A and B are shown apart, each in its own frame.
Chain A
């Protein structure tokens, strides 16, 4: 199962401002009652995007000019809260391919990496610059160079950080460990055979 080598993510961006955006904000707990992750995209940021009657609130994701954006920008400690994988899954199912933020919660970061969705750390100033460029021209192309750790937009390039373990996994197509784990199957069976409680 060769995985895509995720060296670069190119697309339009959308800025959702705020710090400590937690997993419940990203996908409210009641939408966790699902048997597949497939439909989760529609509930992304549900409680901040929708009124109780289902009509739209003012939110960047509800603006037509940002439709089709694939790169999300946000503040610090993005994805804090629970360990549930529903949060990065909802972002990915909605159509996001990468997140640029000032910082990420540990488990969210790991879960996203395993889904092949880079979490890129940029400075507050650079995020503000990218956001204002997007605001001026929502059709602007934003390009994340995962391997080179830069983001380019509107003729400018800024330094960003993609943590080494995740970067290595993304650019070498190893972000989903299943292939490597399956390769170890016969070794695993040997170890299991040596353990009395597993062979019984």
Chain B
């Protein structure tokens, strides 16, 4: 019987059925970072447990590392303690740690693929909801809680209920100036932030076939923002080409055997899905959010929604709440909204191609007066290549601060934070209240190019107009 990739990977990793009906699932690759794992190591010590397969766990630091200070001790003593604690635990339990001193540190979802650790047909778990990113390679990748991190450390397995699979096909051609970020924002706006509950998303169709690995990662990254626990793309030549020659990729004769296995793990023609959604690529515009969840978005040419027009009471109250928080006026165009901060980075859009693409457009131009613009490579590796290519200098010349690798202003756990009710044009993935560090700080999610357009003009702008990209 033809099977989906999800089914094949699940079957290959199912250990046994548990008393409560869940499956004990083997976790092939476990990724950890400094925020959610120290407590799990504590539980391990309390219970006197050993790490079952230390060679299958990889650690790095990302959430709380300062991006403007590279030497320890860090100014924040709690951050400093958490990083030292992770270092100690990795040494004690024999776990590979991509520490800052290795030159391989970065956001966990950027480091895994970059090192070739993220591979097709595998199961991946990490104590972070954006673990769905790794699905871009045809892996089944889940975010997990701290007690589950303990479970994975101690047994290399976890208890999990099976998911349904929804295939999302995006067919046709994207219009000029429309990027992967717009595709996923559009999907979330279409299906809703809870639309994916109980599902893994399989992304497919012309657009995904043409996408680079980095573009696929941007989309899979935000699966969780649409409520799906995991999201994946079937592996193909693009996937294999990306992985070839990476530090942890198979080598020599093993490479060919691995590629044969990876090819076979893709969903079979004629397999059945629990649901199929089809989207026309030409319907997708550069998309920005106006509210306080990633599903509250609209095309850049759109109008901020009016609660009067809401069809249900729930919808009305959520629009009212979002507009009050965002201090936006119903019925006004979103374009032209003044911004204070521009943030380019995060596990959604902190990869080499993001900085390369933006550099192409901002070369020789300047950030608008009064705008604080920061560019934060997602990993030391990305930072290094940008330096070699002179991309960092293009950003600096344009008036961006160029930082060292980390999560930075994506969340409020390091010194990069919004102040007061500052409004930030952000390439990250969450626009929740207070997400960027100030309880009243405001976030508008958009693609890196749109962040650049906002930075240069000082307001939410249509990058196609700012950079003279034909709209047809």
Give residues in A with beta carbon < 8 Å to B: 1, 24, 29-30, 32-37, 82-85, 89, 106-107, 111, 114-115, 165, 168-169, 172, 174, 176-178, 180-182, 184-185, 187-188, 191-192, 195-198, 200
Contacts and interface: CB of A to CB of B under 8 A. Distances in A.
Contacts of B197: 106
B373 interface: no
Given A33-B76, A185-B155, A197-B28, 12 more contacts: A33-B82, A35-B81, A35-B82, A174-B20, A176-B147, A182-B154, A184-B15, A184-B157, A192-B26, A192-B156, A196-B254, A197-B119
Nearest to B80: A33
A33 B78 contact: yes
Given A181-B158, A187-B15, A165 B20 contact: yes
A39 B361 CA distance: 49
B47 interface: yes
Interface in B148-167: 150-151, 154-159
Contacts of A178: 47, 150-151, 154-155
Interface of B: 12-16, 18-22, 24, 26, 28, 35-36, 38-39, 42, 47, 52-53, 56, 64, 76, 78-79, 81-82, 85, 119, 121-122, 129, 143, 145-147, 150-151, 154-159, 197, 250, 254, 257-258, 261, 412-413, 434
B147 A111 contact: yes
Nearest to B159: A177
B18 A187 contact: no
B52 A85 contact: no
Given A33-B78, A180-B24, A195 B154 contact: no
Given A174-B20, A187-B15, A36 B42 contact: yes
B158 A191 contact: no
Query: Looking at chain B's contact residues, is the secondary structure mostly helix, strand, loop, or mixed?
Result: mixed
Contacts of B147: 85, 111, 114-115, 176
A181 B151 contact: yes
Given A115-B147, A197-B119, A188 B35 contact: no
B52 A185 contact: yes
Contacts, number: 128
A198 B28 contact: yes
A84 B154 CA distance: 20
B159 A195 contact: no
B434 A1 contact: no
Nearest to B197: A106
A192 B26 CA distance: 7
7 contacts: A33-B76, A111-B147, A180-B24, A181-B155, A185-B52, A188-B26, A197-B121
B26 A191 contact: yes
Contact of A37 (B13, B19, B39, B64): B39
B157 A34 contact: no
A24 B24 contact: no
Contacts of B150: 178
Most buried by B among A1, A35, A36, A198: A35
Contacts of B26: 188, 191-192, 195, 198
B413 A32 contact: yes
B175 to A, nearest CB: 35
Contacts of B15: 184, 187-188, 191
A30 B437 CA distance: 9
A168 B12 CA distance: 28
Contacts of A169: 20
Given A181-B154, A181-B157, A83 B145 contact: yes
Contacts of B250: 197, 200
A115 to B, nearest CB: 7
A184 B145 contact: no
Nearest to B19: A174
B10 to A, nearest CB: 12
A90 to B, nearest CB: 12
Contact of B78 (A34, A85, A89, A106): A34
Contact of A184 (B24, B76, B119): B24
Contacts of B79: 33
B85 A35 contact: yes
A197 B254 CA distance: 10
A36 B154 CA distance: 17
A195 B16 contact: no
Most buried by A among B38, B145, B254: B145
Contacts of A37: 39, 42, 146
A188 B156 contact: yes
Contacts of B154: 178, 181-182
B47 A1 contact: yes
A54 B199 CA distance: 44
Given A35-B85, A188-B155, A196 B261 contact: yes
B49 to A, nearest CB: 8
B39 A29 contact: no
B143 A83 contact: yes
A155 B126 CA distance: 48
A36 B434 contact: no
A177 B151 contact: yes
Nearest to B224: A83
B437 to A, nearest CB: 9
Contact of A36 (B24, B39, B155, B261): B39
Contacts of A182: 154-155
